Structure 1
Amino acid sequence: MRIAILAHVRQRIAEPFAGGMEAHAWQLAAGLQARGHDVVLFASGDSDPRFTIDPVVTQHYELTFPWAEHRGSQPLIAHLDAGYAAACDRIAAGGFDVVHNNSLHRFPLEQRRTAMVPTVTSLHVPPYDALHWFVSSSPAPRHRLTVTSARQLAAWWPEGAPPEASVLHNGIDVARWPYVPRGNGEAVWCGRITPNKGPHLAARAARQAGVRLTLFGAIEDPEYWQAELAPLIGPDIVYGGHLDAQALAAELGRASVFVFTPCWDEPFGLVAAEAMACGLPVAAFDAGAAREVIGDAGAFAAPGDVDGLARAIQAALATPASVPRERVLRMFTHDHMLDRCEALYHAVIHGDAALAA
């Protein structure tokens, strides 16, 4: 198939990944390409050159409009509208069999566009006002929608999802996350370093549990870092930088427990699944889809409960490394995700809902 992947352009689709959306788009493009599909990645022009890139914008917009997304910036909205309108027009004229839309932009959802090119839209965020109406009015014979968890299916459609919507769990390429059966007794945390990811709470809980913690990830919010995390850094709380997948997998493999601290309605939690693939049980806040992803491969605390999270770290350390690894192999492999994607593509091309099951 000739497949257009339409990405979000806040960050570049390249390592080291800014977050789960960028990692997902990269893995999707790489996996489909490896399966012999003709893939064009519509993303920021500074994305990974190993792919055929058709730029939505010249460079990722966080570089030129830092934090503007959170302030409702009209120049940013106009910039993205122009980029996505032109990209959708190029996709319509490009002879594509299907477009996999990960953009979180309203234009690819319009029925006049999905009528021209069969579309699968994946929603990687909880419902929010700027997109919710466009999503709810978009199901059509040539448009399927996916969310990353059952939790998000209920959040987007609390009165029941339409037949065109389904759960598509993120998938882990387990070859990139090698299994290590025994760690060094320490904890790790990774992700975007922002308040809604809660690394300051992970640090406090690890210190309370008496377990050394290393934090990995991009410092997306420097003011938050200086106010909440820099004062905690010391011999037992370490910042390890922002690493590519190979280096991060090696660091995860050395540890014994992963700490996962979502402070929002986390749609999936790709970093937790990646750690589980390496054999790390997870101590987590029971927020968003955390329990759906982690299951019996860890221990939970109430959201924001540092004392409870400290206890969960100690409890998770007793979980055999084989448990999280086997859960990933059973539920969250890259091949399983790609199989589902291909089934969805065939279904939307042929207008047959049964093919997507």
Structure 2
Amino acid sequence: MTTDTLTRAMMAEPALRVAVIGHIRFAVAEPFQGGMEAHCASLCRGLAMAGHDVTLFAAGGSRADAAIVPICNQPYEHALPWARWRGTPQLEEYQRCAFRRAWDAIRSGGFDVVHNNTLFPDLIDWAARDNIPMLTSQHVPPFGKMRDAVRQAEGDPLRPMTVTSASQLPLWSDRSMANMHLVYNGIDTALWHPVATPRVPPPLFWSGRITHNKGTAMALQAARLAGVALDLAGTIEDETYFACEVEPLLDPLRRYLGHLSGERLHRKMARARALVVTPAWDEPFGLVAAEALSCDVPVIAFGRGALREVVGPCGAIIAAGDVAALAEAMRNPPQLAPGHARARAEALFSLPAMIAGYEALYRSAINAAQPLEVVA
């Protein structure tokens, strides 16, 4: 579906005024620090393409296809770094003040619906208190306060929830929740597109946050074992991990290219022999894998979390943590028919697919809002 087709299809229904609240650990801006920021930018772009009026409430420095309302001067990673301040009253209050600013503006702003793209549980309670339709996207597995908030909202059509893969559904409840839905993350397939294959076989590619739970060192170990070239790109989230476990494995064939963004990242991805994904935790989705498929690039991935679900028949799934098997797959990357991976991305992980799922939930939440009582 093209951008014009998406716009026409969505405009069959009246346009909505949508308030998107972004996670404030980082700014929503390229080069994206992680999947939540990339998803938030894609969400705003997709909603704008569909003709909706979008306002993004996010940390200062954010840039997206939406009106931007800064709710804190700087992301909390700059003010109160998560590794040091995690779980402290100071970080809790920093977030509470920012999101309270957003909520106060939303309550008086005439919005039709809110899309909560944060990890701040109190927003779910505020929506019920103020009778405001709000969809909450759950991008990570449940943690204590968020699990409690979701359970308290169970079954409430005013407050639908989404998860990013079927693998996440049983983590939230041992029974079906009427207001918990699956909507895959979407990417802009017009930006993540195939390019001409170079004559000389290019390196394999690894992209993501460089931290232990992304398994960067295992990808390098496998590349050295296989004797193949591997390029890495991404932000160094854990400097100790990079210095002790990643950097010693770099050499002329296994290179770290830095934190790429925009067209540079697309070119590296689209020209790769295959993308390597090595999670050391259960990935809720795996946005980078969907981006590779959209570029018609096969994926070699550890089978943790949603990776098997995302990759499907468009790559090789390796037992989690099996470096020797990963090396063998890297030595002999999957060969796919041209257009095969791209077709999967367009059908399941495109912006039109994601926006259609969200838009249906927006309207059901709006219909569930209780009319305000009129005092005679």
TM-score range, shorter chain: over 0.9
Q: 1:342 to 1:114 in 2, by over 3 A?
A: farther
Would you say 1:276 and 2:289 are equivalent positions? no
The 2-side partners of 1:129 and 1:5 are apart by 24
Greater mean deviation of Cα atoms: 136-145 or 16-25 = 136-145
Would you say 1:154 and 2:170 are equivalent positions? yes
Structure 1 residues not aligned, in runs of 5+: 353-357
| From 82, 86, 108, the counterpart of 1:71 | 86
- Per-residue CA deviation, residues 47-104 of structure 1 (Å, 9 max, x unaligned), is 1165311222111111111234763222111111121123212211211100000111
Q: Give runs of aligned pairs for residues 201-240 of structure 1, distance below 5 A.
A: 201-240=218-257
2:316 corresponds to: 299
Would you say 1:102 and 2:114 are equivalent positions? no
Q: 1:27 to 1:231 in 2, by over 3 A?
A: same
CA contact (8 A) 2:44 2:65 kept: no
The 1-side partners of 2:323 and 2:85 are apart by 28
| From 121, 126, 129, the counterpart of 2:141 | 126
Q: Give runs of aligned pairs for residues 1-357 of structure 1, distance below 5 A.
A: 1-48=16-63, 51-68=66-83, 71-110=86-125, 113=128, 115-139=130-154, 140-157=156-173, 159-180=174-195, 182=197, 184-351=201-368
Q: 1:3 to 1:166 in 2, by over 3 A?
A: same
**Which residue identity is paired with 1:143?**
R
How far is 1:322 from its partner? 2.7
- Per-residue CA deviation, residues 228-259 of structure 1 (Å, 9 max, x unaligned), is 11111111110111111321111112211100
Residue aligned with 1:143, SS: coil
The 2-side partners of 1:11 and 1:52 are apart by 18
CA contact (8 A) 1:108 1:114 kept: no
Residue aligned with 1:201, SS: helix
Q: Structure 1 length as normaliser, TM-score?
A: 0.94
The 2-side partners of 1:350 and 1:316 are apart by 49
CA contact (8 A) 2:209 2:236 kept: yes
How far is 1:114 from its partner? 6.2
Q: 1:69 to 1:118 in 2, by over 3 A?
A: farther
**Which residue identity is paired with 1:155?**
L
The 1-side partners of 2:165 and 2:345 are apart by 15
CA contact (8 A) 2:28 2:58 kept: yes
CA contact (8 A) 1:85 1:107 kept: no
Which one has a bigger Cα radius of gyration? 2
The 2-side partners of 1:199 and 1:165 are apart by 32
Q: 1:51 to 1:241 in 2, by over 3 A?
A: same
- Any runs of at least 4 consecutive aligned residues in structure 1 with deviations exceeding 6 A, and if so which? none
Greater mean deviation of Cα atoms: 19-28 or 138-147 = 138-147
The 1-side partners of 2:123 and 2:241 are apart by 34
The 2-side partners of 1:324 and 1:334 are apart by 16
**Which residue identity is paired with 1:233?**
L
The 1-side partners of 2:85 and 2:341 are apart by 35
**Which residue identity is paired with 1:85?**
R
**Which residue identity is paired with 1:66?**
P
Residue aligned with 1:99, SS: strand
RMSD: 1.8
**Aligned residue pairs: how many?**
351
CA contact (8 A) 1:281 1:320 kept: no
Q: 1:257 to 1:39 in 2, by over 3 A?
A: same
Residue aligned with 1:127, SS: coil
Residue aligned with 1:84, SS: helix
Greater mean deviation of Cα atoms: 58-67 or 290-299 = 58-67
Identity rate of aligned residues, in percent?
Answer: 43
CA contact (8 A) 2:285 2:310 kept: yes
